[in-house]
Amino acid sequence: MQHTFLYEPGIWTLTGMFWSADGQAMAVDGSTEISHGPHCWMLAGRMRVLASPPAEFVNVYDIQIPGKDALASKWTSENSSLGKLHGVYTVVGPAILSLYRSEQGGYLGTEHLEQITADQYSAYGVLLMDDRRLSSWQVTLTR
């Protein structure tokens, strides 16, 4: 099965769970839009934590168009809380892995997106500061 998330333009909705640093579980929802331009791909997403009060994370990633092997792509993003992030997406069989770090240091994380069908992925991620977990999430992305 060919990967569709990132590799095809589209809008994906997400639902799932978010865990704070202290392990408190909260429901999340949101959306992600993938677009392909002539010089780069773009991922624009938001994830809303359904807490009281709610919190929303908004990210825009500039993704290098994959090279010949199409198995790895670098990306960057500006984040109001974390600063500039640098990462890489890489394909490993049915999964797309994302590894990232902040330009200033300290923050790093990973996300694992496993393809269930052409229109559905299951994603798991964690954000760390040095060796301390700040948050984690598990969501289902549906196109």
Nearest to 32 by CA among 17, 44, 41: 44
122 in any annotated domain = yes
The answer to the question of residue 1 being in a domain is: no
Residue 56: which domain range? 10-142
**How do the pLDDT tens digits run along the chain, 143 residues long?**
799 999 999 999 999 999 999 999 999 999 999 999 999 999 999 999 999 899 999 999 999 998 877 788 999 999 888 899 999 999 999 999 999 999 988 999 999 999 999 999 999 999 999 889 999 999 999 99
Quote the tokens at residue 129.
Answer: 């500061």
Q: Is residue 109 part of a domain?
A: yes
pTM beyond cutoff 0.75: yes
CB 66 within 8 A of CB 73: yes
CATH number at residue 52: 2.40.128.20
Instruction: For residue 136, list its beta bridge partners.
Output: 19, 126
Q: Measure the CA–CA gap between 12 and 89, rounded to whole angstroms.
A: 18
